[in-house]
């Protein structure tokens, strides 16, 4: 059975001073536990610290392996560049929209790449074909693509725990292209909310110019699926604490400490994304405007220390301490300070007791991927521990706001609104409180972290490892056979598509000129006795003649509308009766679209009209293209045309024209006894599916995708085949 490899930057382990290792209960570890998987599991990640500080690395490694963990050790420089630098000081602030806090350094980026590569190597060593690899978070954006390059067929999933910021922010990153392409190495990419997925797709479009659907996209000949998987909290863990026989006593002891005050609870890691200064401003405003409640309420501010020693974080701590002191100084009295700042972590049982006792819980981050505190608070609210049900105040910028619609939603920047929400929460009647909590609890308990993990992994399991990896066939025997035929029967026809077959695609089509070897190869092949060669393309006559003229090769342009028989110098129409009157009606629509969409233009071919939007704003261009398609498809119902949405184009072409019809014509005109066609896309299938009578017919598909061709290869494979054929034919 395949195994599951969990990959996160930090491992859920603790390493003691003597080097011995044990597992800890992280959020992800508990999610996996709750998912009840039968698969064997392995964790890959960083055990923390710098490798230079471990006295006996081998012993730590052995210990970790014994508890199902494969460590990725980092040097001190890597910890600085990859972790503190690129992950925490570039990506973290940017993903949370704090562009002015983001710092950029070439050295950090180099370390980020190197460490992602290190992870890839450890995984490749540990994985077997068919394993599921589930990668977590922004530290490892490059890893999915790095795993693709390896020899093992893996099912690769990626989940982002932070928000995916707007593409307008993301595009600021100097390394945006590589980061996005790195992620697209995954088979499945998951986000907490629909918005994050939307931003990601928009980044693909804005940065790479790649269009995608909500469900995903095709990339590199395989499907990359995308989806929304909101994470749940550790319901089982909190349930265990609450069911513990000592829990009621613990609650009673905290209740005594509260001495009748109404607790307004805040729990967070002290990070600038959590908006603690803004929250303090709202508390101050509340205390100012509600003097009658000053003595009744106690704001409990549990702030778990974070990244101590980093200046920004130390400054934040100082700022918070100062402001708490100032507010208490101003609004406190002997025996009561309205804010209690607890700058440390608490055991889970205490946390559960605080959640159970709180009358209000304030979750007011400036940005947060999800925020589990909100869900944990709701879950721990039980009638047996508190007389009054609690109220959740929730920032609209937390991912959780999408799910918890019955909370009091606030804009954390709006100090007046948050202060008013605190007052409203305190005054809310019990039946309303109960009703709101009930609605949210019902949902949460069913959507716990185990359910989340199971859902994601079930979806990941549908991936088809190896999909898109095309099976390249050995074409030497085919070259030998064609050589024999040309000698015995003469009249061998070769029909070769250009873009994607003789030459790779490039972003700007005009730059797809032949490489230096191609003209010589085509000239040599066409010059062999008994051989007729045609390049069959969708390109215009002008392009083909400019780049492939004078080689003794016949040229077929515009998908089979026109052709230039070598040696004649005259372009002819395959079918002079093709009706192109429809162009007048359609041209007007396309020109109107160009006028309204900067960066687009209309190309007029003799048998087709093409609207190009490669240079337009990608999102705007795509939106207009979709509108045009809808409009043209209904117009085209009564016209002899087909409408096709291609690579940044909308093309309307005559139904009476195809590459297949053109090749069929030439097979007869040249009296071919044997023929070979090669192409890469749907328009080439019209030649591939020909079955000409009396002709030994061979077809080759270049690249991935469905085909009816008998042979398959890639661009370099076709090139070697043609070179070999040249040798055989000249022999
Ligand atoms: C990322 C994303 C996303 C807090 N104080 C104590 C304590 N905690 C626990 C809470 C909760 C967790 O820490 C914090 O929840 P977050 O949701 O902020 O989770 P992170 O892992 O920090 O953040 C976030 C999350 O990933 C999941 O995808 O929601 O948006 O930034 O579970 O209970 N736990 C204990 N003592 C404390 O004092 N024991």
Q: Write down the pLDDT at residue 635.
A: 87
Closest Cα to residue 494, out of 537, 539, 473, 525? 525
> Per-residue DSSP letters for 551-567?
SS-EEEETTTTEEE-TT
Mean pLDDT across 678-697? 93
Query: Which H or E element spans position 159?
Result: strand 155-159
Q: Write down the pLDDT at residue 37.
A: 87
Q: Write down the pLDDT at residue 512.
A: 87
Q: Write down the pLDDT at residue 468.
A: 60
Mean pLDDT across 581-586? 91
pLDDT over 80 at 26, yes or no: no
Q: Write down the pLDDT at residue 703.
A: 86
Quote the pTM value: 0.85
pLDDT confidence band for 634 (50 / 70 / 90): confident
Estimate to the nearest angstrom the gap between the alpha carbon of 538 and the chain centroid. Answer: 33
pLDDT over 80 at 471, yes or no: no
Distance CA 443, CA 631 (A): 43
Contacts of 52 (CB under 8 A, 6+ apart): 75, 76
Topology of domain 476-578+658-730, CATH: Rossmann fold (3.40.50)
Q: Write down the pLDDT at residue 83.
A: 97
More confident residue, 149 or 291: 291
pLDDT over 80 at 347, yes or no: yes
Evaluate whether 476-578+658-730 and 583-654 have a shared fold. no
- Ligand 1 atom at shortest distance from the alpha carbon of 400: 29
pLDDT over 90 at 445, yes or no: no
CA of 110 to the centre of ligand 1 (A): 29
Task: Tell me which of 3.40.50.2300, 2.10.10.90, 3.40.50.410, 3.40.50.2000 is the CATH number of domain 4-228.
Answer: 3.40.50.2000
Half-sphere exposure of 493 (CA within 13 A, CB side): 27
More confident residue, 171 or 681: 171
pLDDT over 80 at 149, yes or no: no
pLDDT confidence band for 507 (50 / 70 / 90): low
pLDDT confidence band for 316 (50 / 70 / 90): very high
Whether the Cβ atoms of residue 375 and residue 346 lie closer than 8 Å to each other: no
pLDDT over 90 at 27, yes or no: no
Task: Tell me which of 3.40.50.2000, 3.40.50.12160, 3.40.50.1220, 3.30.2270.10 is the CATH number of domain 236-447.
Answer: 3.40.50.2000
User: Which tens digits make up the pLDDT trace of 173-219?
Assistant: 999 999 999 999 999 999 999 999 999 999 999 999 888 988 999 88
Token pair, residue 96, equals 């949370």
| Angle at which helices 27-35 and 235-243 cross, to 10° | 90
Contacts of 348 (CB under 8 A, 6+ apart): 237, 238, 241
Query: Which H or E element spans position 666?
Result: helix 659-669
Helix, strand or coil for residue 627?
Answer: helix
Q: Write down the pLDDT at residue 465.
A: 77
pLDDT over 80 at 467, yes or no: no
Topology of domain 583-654, CATH: Alpha-Beta Plaits (3.30.70)
User: Which are the catalytic amino acids?
Assistant: 497
Closest protein CA for atom 28 of ligand 1: 161
Around ligand 1, the residues with Cβ closer than 6 Å are 27, 161-162, 231, 267, 269, 302, 304, 345-348, 351, 368-373, 376
CA of 378 to the centre of ligand 1 (A): 15
> Could you state, in order of their start, the residue ranges of all structural domains in the chain?
4-228, 236-447, 476-578+658-730, 583-654
Q: Write down the pLDDT at residue 34.
A: 82
Whether the Cβ atoms of residue 658 and residue 637 lie closer than 8 Å to each other: no
More confident residue, 360 or 17: 360
- Map tokens 């074409």 to a residue: 475
CA of 216 to the centre of ligand 1 (A): 29
Parallel, antiparallel or unpaired: strands 21-23 and 674-679? unpaired
Pick from 79-83, 129-133, 258-262, 485-489: least confident: 485-489
pLDDT over 70 at 470, yes or no: no
Mean pLDDT across 102-106? 97
Q: Write down the pLDDT at residue 509.
A: 73
Q: Write down the pLDDT at residue 460.
A: 97
- Ligand 1 atom at shortest distance from the alpha carbon of 399: 30
- Ligand 1 atom at shortest distance from the alpha carbon of 398: 30
CA of 554 to the centre of ligand 1 (A): 67
Mean pLDDT across 643-671? 91
Please report, rounded to a whole number, the percentage of residues in the chain having pLDDT higher than 70.
99
Closest protein CA for atom 27 of ligand 1: 161
Phi-psi region for residue 344, left (φ > 0), alpha (ψ -120 to 50) or beta?
Answer: beta
Q: Write down the pLDDT at residue 151.
A: 82
Closest protein CA for atom 30 of ligand 1: 369
Closest protein CA for atom 1 of ligand 1: 161
pLDDT confidence band for 443 (50 / 70 / 90): confident
């Amino acid at each position: 059975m395949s195994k599951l490899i969990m990959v996160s930057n930090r491992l859920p382990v603790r390493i003691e001073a003597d080097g011995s290792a044990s597992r800890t209960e992280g959020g992800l570890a508990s999610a996996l536990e709750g998912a009840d998987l039968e698969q064997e599991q392995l964790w890959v990640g960083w055990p923390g610290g710098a490798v230079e500080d471990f006295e006996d690395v081998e012993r730590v490694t052995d210990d970790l392996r014994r508890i199902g963990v494969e460590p990725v050790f980092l040097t001190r420089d890597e910890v600085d560049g990859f972790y503190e630098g690129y992950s925490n000081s570039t990506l973290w602030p940017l993903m949370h929209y704090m562009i002015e806090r983001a710092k950029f350094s070439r050295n950090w980026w180099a370390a980020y790449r190197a460490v992602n590569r290190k992870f890839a190597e450890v995984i490749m060593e540990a994985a077997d074909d068919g394993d599921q690899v589930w990668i977590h978070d922004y530290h490892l954006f490059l890893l999915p693509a790095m795993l693709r390059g390896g020899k093992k067929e893996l099912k690769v999933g990626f989940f982002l725990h932070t928000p995916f910021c707007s593409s307008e922010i993301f595009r600021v990153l100097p390394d945006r292209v590589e980061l996005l392409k790195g992620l697209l190495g995954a088979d499945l990419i998951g986000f907490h909310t629909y918005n994050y997925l939307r931003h990601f797709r928009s980044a693909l479009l804005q940065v790479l110019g790649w269009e995608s659907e909500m469900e995903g996209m095709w990339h590199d000949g395989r499907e990359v699926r995308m989806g929304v998987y909101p994470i749940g909290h550790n319901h089982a863990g909190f349930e265990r604490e609450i069911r513990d026989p000592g829990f009621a006593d613990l609650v009673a002891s905290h209740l005594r400490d509260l001495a009748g005050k109404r607790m307004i609870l805040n729990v967070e890691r002290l990070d600038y994304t959590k908006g603690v200064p803004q929250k303090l401003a709202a508390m101050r405003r509340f205390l100012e405007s509600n003097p009658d409640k000053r003595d009744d309420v106690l704001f409990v501010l549990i702030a778990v220390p974070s990244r101590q020693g980093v200046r920004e974080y130390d400054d934040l701590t100082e700022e918070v301490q100062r402001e708490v002191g100032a507010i208490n100084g101003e609004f406190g009295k002997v025996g009561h300070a309205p804010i209690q700042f607890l700058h440390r972590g608490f055991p889970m049982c205490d946390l559960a007791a605080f959640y159970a006792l709180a009358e209000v819980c304030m979750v007011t981050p400036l940005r947060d991927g999800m925020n589990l505190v909100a869900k944990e608070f709701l879950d721990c609210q039980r009638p047996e521990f508190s007389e009054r049900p609690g109220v959740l105040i929730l920032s609209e910028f937390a991912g959780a706001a999408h799910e918890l619609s019955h909370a009091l939603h606030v804009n954390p920047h709006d100090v007046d609104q948050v202060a008013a929400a605190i007052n409203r929460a305190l005054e809310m009647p019990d039946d309303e409180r109960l009703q709101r909590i009930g609605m949210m609890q019902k949902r949460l308990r069913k959507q716990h972290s185990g359910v989340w993990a199971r859902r994601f992994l079930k979806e990941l399991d549908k991936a088809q490892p190896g999909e898109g990896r095309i099976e390249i066939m050995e074409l030497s025997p085919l070259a030998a056979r064609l050589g024999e035929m040309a000698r015995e029967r003469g009249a061998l026809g070769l029909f070769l598509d250009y873009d994607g077959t003789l030459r790779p695609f490039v972003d700007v089509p005009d730059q797809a000129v032949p490489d230096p070897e191609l003209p010589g190869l085509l000239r040599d092949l066409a010059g062999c006795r008994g051989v007729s060669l045609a390049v069959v393309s969708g390109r215009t006559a002008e392009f083909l003649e400019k780049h492939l003229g004078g080689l003794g090769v016949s040229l077929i342009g515009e998908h089979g509308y026109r052709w230039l028989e070598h040696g004649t110098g005259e372009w002819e129409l395959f079918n002079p009766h093709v009706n192109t009157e429809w162009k007048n009606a359609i041209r007007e629509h396309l020109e109107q679209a160009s006028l309204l969409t900067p960066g687009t233009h209309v190309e007029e071919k003799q048998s087709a009209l093409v609207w190009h939007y490669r240079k337009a704003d990608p999102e705007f261009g795509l939106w207009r293209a979709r509108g045009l398609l809808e409009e043209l498809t209904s117009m085209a119902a009564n016209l002899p045309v087909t409408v096709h949405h291609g690579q940044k184009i909308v093309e309307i072409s005559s139904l009476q024209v195809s590459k297949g019809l053109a090749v069929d014509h030439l097979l007869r005109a040249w009296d071919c006894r044997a023929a070979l066609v090669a192409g890469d896309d749907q328009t080439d299938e019209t030649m591939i599916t020909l079955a000409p009578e009396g002709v030994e017919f061979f077809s080759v598909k270049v690249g991935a995708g469905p085909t009816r061709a008998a042979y398959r290869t890639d661009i370099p494979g076709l090139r070697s085949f043609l070179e070999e054929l040249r040798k055989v034919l000249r022999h």
